Chains A and B, each alone.
Chain A
Amino acid sequence: MPTSPPQPPPLDHAQVQELFSDFRDGSLDPARTEAVRTHLHGCASCRKEYMAFADTVSSLMKLKTPAPPDFVETVQGAIRRRSRGRFFARKPPRFPLELVSLITLMIMLVVYLFLTIGEPKKVREGTSPPKAPPGAPR
């Protein structure tokens, strides 16, 4: 016969009030959420406290003060002034070191290939019978 999961012990007033934030934020596990809900359902005092607590948090969420209308221009002005106009200046084009390195490597490779492949040919073209050792009969 299936048994239901064990119920957590009921919470007292202080425990419930400690969990107000988590309960409001929805960050309690389901068992605890249910325990808090059950307590609030049966306890007018904690229910009243929780309502006031939730209202407080809601009031905080309404505190929005916009920046002054000219704020963007003020910030831009401050940056320009402090950098003497250099901050937003275009950076000079970067010297393409990677490209130069690659081209240099390719040139070196071509020269190497030219030398190593061209050399035997030159040797072959200039091939002459080996010189006879001195003193050998002609």
Chain B
Amino acid sequence: MTLRERALLARLRERDETAFTEVVRDYQNRVFNLVYRMIGSREEAEDLAQEVFVTVFKSIEQFRGDSKFSTWLYRIAANHCKNRIKYLSRRHTASGGLDGVPEQNLADGGRAPLSGHVDAPDAILEGREIEKLVQQAIAALDDEHRLLVLLRDVEELSYQEIVDITGLNEGTVKSRLHRARMQIKEYIDRHTGKGKG
């Protein structure tokens, strides 16, 4: 844990409201994004992301600080996602994919967060189509593989962090991640007519 994290943790344990606000501000996008991609419904994701933070605050006394705070938070988020998926599947309301056309980047004016330039309209359209396909491909994965892809490729965590979050060993993480990436690639190939035949 960094010094900043230690200081923040001490304030959280004192139930300092500004510290809690700081945590939500710092992690809201990452948690929301993970939960949204795992669950596939924006409405469910809003509710679940909220639950994640409530759990974090309620259990802050149990966080011993032997891992990074973000790792602990992601672990809580991952567990919540698994439980919610089970619950939704029992209620038969789980949908097969993310709801609607991706609303990614609508909040920032349609600019891709990782791109440093303004795309031409055709490129934006094509980009959104690809993004939609990628989302569908992620939704088609099973929960375990989806989580690994999201943690590694969407959240861009290190293998060690993923090991700490999931409790899997590094070899398992790597082989499952590879399988998941290949499945996504094959899905995209099939739906763009680039498949091998």
Report Cα–Cα, A78/B20, bound state, in Å: 13
A122 within 8 A of B: no
Interface string of B93-113 (1 = CB under 8 A from A): 000000000111101100011
Nearest neighbor of B149 in chain A, beta-carbon distance: A60
Q: Are B57 and A87 in contact (CB under 8 A)?
A: yes
**Is B49's CB under 8 angstroms from A67's CB?**
yes
- Render A38-66 as a binary contact track against B, CB cut-off 8 A, 1 for contact: 00000000000000110011011111111
Given A79-B57, A87-B15, also A66-B177 (CB < 8 A): no
B90 at the interface (CB under 8 A from A): no
Tell me whether B33 and A88 are in contact (CB under 8 A). no
B24 and A63 contacting across the interface, CB-CB below 8 Å? no
A60 and B149 CA atoms in complex are apart in Å by 8
Residue contact B107 to A61, C-beta cutoff 8 Å? no
- Contact, CB under 8 Å: A67 / B32: yes
The distance in angstroms between the C-alpha atoms of A63 and B127, with both chains bound, is: 11
User: A89–B159 Cα gap in the complex (Å)?
Assistant: 39
Tell whether, in the assembled complex, residue A21 and residue B104 are in contact, meaning their CB atoms are under 8 Å apart: no
B131 touches A63 (CB 8 A): yes
Query: How far is B127's CA from A93's CA once the two chains are assembled, in angstroms?
Result: 57
Q: How far is the CB of A78 from chain B (nearest CB, A)?
A: 5
- Take A72-B21, A79-B54 as given contacts and tell me if A63 and B33 are in contact as well, using a CB distance cutoff of 8 Å: yes
**Judging by beta carbons under 8 Å apart, are B29 and A62 in contact?**
no
B17 interface residue (CB < 8 Å to A): yes
Known contacts: A60-B149, A61-B156, A79-B54. The answer to whether A67 contacts B31 by CB under 8 A is: yes
A-contact bits for B2-33, CB 8 A (1 contact / 0 none): 00000000000011010011001100110111
The main secondary structure of chain A at its interface with chain B is helix
Chain B residues, Cβ within 8 Å of A52: 185, 188-189, 194
Alpha-carbon distance A69/B159, docked complex (angstroms): 31
On chain B, the residues within 8 Å of A61 by CB distance are 114, 153-154, 156
Given known contacts A71-B28, A72-B28, is B181 in contact with A64 (CB within 8 Å)? no
Question: Do A64 and B188 contact each other (CB < 8 Å), given the known contacts A18-B178, A76-B21, A82-B54?
Answer: no
B73: CB under 8 A from chain A?
Answer: no
A27 to chain B minimum Cβ distance, whole angstroms, is 8
A97 within 8 A of B: no
Contact with B along A73-112 (1 / 0, CB 8 A): 0111011001000011111000000000000000000000
Residues of B within 8 A of A21 (CB): 174, 177-178, 181
Contact in complex: B50, A56 (CB < 8 Å): no
Q: Give chain B residues whose Cβ lies under 8 Å from the Cβ of A69.
A: 107
A75 B174 Cβ-Cβ under 8 A: no
Q: A56-B188, A79-B54 are in contact. Are A64 and B29 (CB under 8 A)?
A: yes
Whole-angstrom CA separation of A61 from B53 in the bound complex: 24
A87-B16 Cα distance, complex, nearest whole Å: 10
Please tell me if the beta carbons of A65 and B36 are within 8 angstroms of each other in the complex: yes
Q: List 9 A-B contacts (CB under 8 A).
A: A20-B182, A21-B177, A56-B134, A59-B130, A59-B134, A61-B153, A62-B112, A65-B36, A65-B102
